[in-house]
Structure 1
Amino acid sequence: MTVPERIIQSSDALKVFPLPSAVLFPHSVIPLHIFEPRYRDMVGDALSSDQVMALAQLEPGWETHYAGRPPVQEMMCVGLIVWHEKLEDGRYNLLLQGVCRARMVAELPSERLYREMRVELLPDPSYHGPEEEQLRQAVLELAGRVPPSFSEGLLPAVARANGGTLADVVAAAIIPEPERRQELLSELDVRVRLQAVIDEVGELLGRLQPMRPTGPLN
């Protein structure tokens, strides 16, 4: 079964890992350490079936209800477990690769400890516009002001990506704030999302000084 087929099949009962401060974008990867028993069960079930699970942001005020089922933001990212390591005590380290946006339709009653939801998958429509080249140029300028260790992985990805994927790849790399990441995850208009990420790169450039050359000049 292909990855798109697995994602579609999972949408009727999607395994969801809610977190208060982590937002996954499609086409990016996030490392996770799974230690709670309910989510260790979830990862074990995912690994024994389709390797699919979603990451969802908890709504504000979750602190007093975390042991139960506090509300989550309706927009989330469905991902695929692309690497995992099971530790001796049952915890997991894993890498979750974002695949597709999804909107929660309903939370399902379940006898399991972890949460499952029926979702609507929201793949990006095809888009080509001037914002793509504007964003690529902005990232090139950014690459000249940051250490090579930051830009060497981003530049090839930006060169390959188009449309909504381009916006997501750059957003995942440069935006740390969970609230802003969630806003961009929730933005379904690709043109608006591209422009928003262009603005984010511009603000970052405004805070950075051009890198000074090191070593001899001649």
Structure 2
Amino acid sequence: MKVPVFPLNSVVLPGGRIPLQLFEPRYIDMLTRCMKGDQGFVITLLRDGAETGRVASFYETGTYVRIIDFQQLDNGLLGITVEGEAKVSITRTWQQNDGLNLCEMVFLPVEVSGSIPTAFYELPSVLRALFRHPVIQELGMSVDYEDARDVSWRLTELLPLDKQEKQHLMEMQDPIARLSRLQGLLEALEEG
């Protein structure tokens, strides 16, 4: 499947939402094509380079997202909100003359959902606290606080972690292993 790539300094996972501001012509054209073709695009984390201008490099694992809302912002820019649908592996990339990155991608297997083991009983409470923040509430995301996959995905997105750590967590396919890693990272944050 051939789709545009939107490299960012942020990670979004299936079910997660992220607001974006579009001002570069290549991304406004991308938005138009995606809306006309009822198609999404891939958000992936930058390895290095900047979100604006020509991107140096980005990770091969990202998330296929769809536009769920758009509006003109007070600053005159176009604002969109996207929601993650599925994790993907980017198999080939190239850049158009206007600088828009395109890729061929395949969908990764859907992670199994399941209940949260008692060893991680505190993690849903941490997520509930994050969801009380007004900026997060504005996104209107839903989460199943009893599902290991949902809780691990949202914590990966929302916790103040290093971006490479977020990418590592995103690339994991086992929600329980991700919860274990998140718990260790939270304990390190509390100590440090």
Interval of TM-score (by shorter of Structure 1 and Structure 2): 0.7 to 0.9
Structure 2 gaps, min length 5: none
Task: Tell me which of 156, 172, 177 is aligned to 1:171.
Answer: 156
Question: Is the Cα contact below 8 Å between 1:27 and 1:99 reproduced in 2?
Answer: yes
Residues 175-209 of structure 1 show CA distances to partners (whole Å, capped at 9, x for unaligned) of 343222112112223332121122233334556xx
Residue 196 (str. 1) matches residue 181 (str. 2): yes
Q: Larger radius of gyration, structure 1 or 2?
A: 1
TM-aligned CA distance change 1:143 to 1:32, over 3 Å: closer
Query: How far apart, in 1, do the equivalents of 2:38 and 2:130 lie?
Result: 38
Question: Is the Cα contact below 8 Å between 2:4 and 2:30 reproduced in 1?
Answer: yes
Letter in 2 for 1:16: V
Query: How far apart, in 2, do the equivalents of 1:143 and 1:76 lie?
Result: 22
Query: What does residue 150 of structure 1 align with?
Result: 133
Structure 1 or 2: more helix by fraction: 1
Query: What does residue 57 of structure 2 align with?
Result: 71
Question: Is the Cα contact below 8 Å between 1:104 and 1:120 reproduced in 2?
Answer: yes
Query: What does residue 15 of structure 1 align with?
Result: 4
Query: What does residue 31 of structure 2 align with?
Result: 43
Question: Is the Cα contact below 8 Å between 1:138 and 1:201 reproduced in 2?
Answer: no
Backbone CA RMSD of aligned residues: 3.4
Query: What does residue 145 of structure 2 align with?
Result: 159
Question: Is the Cα contact below 8 Å between 1:74 and 1:103 reproduced in 2?
Answer: yes
- SS of the equivalent of 1:157 reads coil
Query: What does residue 25 of structure 1 align with?
Result: 13
TM-score, with structure 1 as normaliser: 0.70
Query: What does residue 44 of structure 2 align with?
Result: 56
Sequence identity of aligned pairs in percent?
17
Structure 1 gaps, min length 5: 1-11, 208-218
Query: How far apart, in 2, do the equivalents of 1:147 and 1:100 lie?
Result: 23
TM-aligned CA distance change 1:13 to 1:32, over 3 Å: same
Letter in 2 for 1:106: R
TM-aligned CA distance change 1:43 to 1:132, over 3 Å: farther
TM-aligned CA distance change 1:192 to 1:147, over 3 Å: closer
